[in-house]
Amino acid sequence: MGNSRAAHVLAGLDARLPALERLYVDLHRHPELAFAETRTAAVVARRLRADGYTVHTGIGGTGVAGVLRRGDGPTVLLRADMDALPVEERTGLAYASTARAVDTEGRQVPVMHACGHDMHVTWLCGAASLLAEVRASWSGTLVAVFQPAEEVGRGARAMIDDGLFDRVGTPDVVFGQHVTPAPAGWVLTRPDVLMAATDALRVTLHGRGGHGSRPETTVDPAVLAASVVLRLQTIVSRELAATEQAVVTVGSLHVGSAHNVIADDATLDLDIRSFTPEVRTRVLAAVERIVRAEADAAAASRPPDITPIASFPVTRNDPAATERVRAAFEEHFPDGRVWDAPLITGSEDVGDFGAAAGAASVFWLVGGGDERRVLDALATGRFETDVPSNHSSLFAPVPHPTLRTGVEALVVAALDRLRAPGVA
């Protein structure tokens, strides 16, 4: 029954694809950083109102939620994230971003939808419009949430803390999806843990500055930072068992401003990924131990500062709900398009919605890579080098069939939960 309803709702998708592609191109050309998605929020709010949704704006800063109630039935929340990244685009696309913005540090930075959130917004706009148009196909409440600031791990929590569920109701199930460099047209699911937890830390090492010609009068924070970076790499290789998984990355290191000056301080930004609370606790403790010990060994002028920047929970899919979604996908999509998702060291905050609501949550992946290119790269063992991934300045999902697949997946999942009219 669910699949015939999906086919009925999706009958209008072909006619909408050109407009959805124009929306996607527009969003790609106008990316916005976390908590600054004002233009994007205005675009989606206008579209939701035109489709008959009750629209709530400014939730958690720039978040938008549209609510469509049609009689008795479950409440289904569909989520898309809106923010872009401080990355300079190098895709060469005719619609490549040239946008620049001021980041939270006050710096002018390039901005790009390097993670595909422009695709996510377009998918949800398309699905919300189709589900609103075919009024007789479902009963219940549909909530379309457009979330800010996923990239910094605070957007979902900001919307929840700002009373999202007081405004839209508490969902019975939360669905979301993410574009990946898998072949376009593929849909990938995984029960239980799908994505890692993240802890981002800023470490400030305090040396003692001076003239570059007289290092003996200083405590050189550049040398100290180098020791810290190298020692941190031993956490995964020497402190975790081969059967355990974690990633420790130093993504940013800043020290000094002139060739003949030894600086006072060095700043490192760390990115830590883990899948279990036990590993997370051990890795964080090891980071603190190493940073403080290296500072002591260097006779640092004072203890280092270790400050949290961002935190993401493990993305954990409800197993029963995931099995139900996958069954709906396998019934709808042709053979060979529904796959098992790998365990992913990337992170997401979508799980905060389900956790706060006490609702089942399912998050899945939709391929956006050129199928021939991806399959050839997989066959030759060159996937990691030849296929740009999320957050790369070269990441660019192909619009077709990526647009169609993402809209279809959201509609199929939603209708599998929303009650058929006349069914108790």
Domain residue limits, the chain = 2-195+314-417, 197-311
How far apart CA 359 and CA 345 sit, in angstroms, is 24
DSSP run (H or E) holding 332: helix 319-332
DSSP run (H or E) holding 414: helix 399-417
Q: How many CB atoms lie within 10 A of CB 7?
A: 14
Q: How many CB atoms lie within 10 A of CB 11?
A: 12
pLDDT of residue 333: 96
pLDDT of residue 1: 44
User: Would you mind telling me the total number of residues written for the chain in this entry?
Assistant: 424
Using CA atoms of 284, 286, 292, 295 in order, give the dihedral in degrees to the nearest 10.
Answer: -120
Using CA atoms of 135, 362, 368, 30 in order, give the dihedral in degrees to the nearest 10.
Answer: 70
Q: Could you tell me whether strands 63-70 and 140-147 are parallel, antiparallel, or unpaired per DSSP bridges? A: antiparallel
Q: In CATH terms, is domain 2-195+314-417 a member of 3.40.50.300?
A: no
Query: What one-letter code names the amino acid at 160?
Result: I
pLDDT of residue 423: 64
Q: pLDDT below 50 — which residues of the chain?
A: 1
CATH topology (fold) of 197-311: Alpha-Beta Plaits (3.30.70)
Q: Which residues pair with 180 in a beta bridge?
A: 367
pLDDT of residue 382: 96
* Cβ atoms of residues 312 and 347 within 8 Å: yes
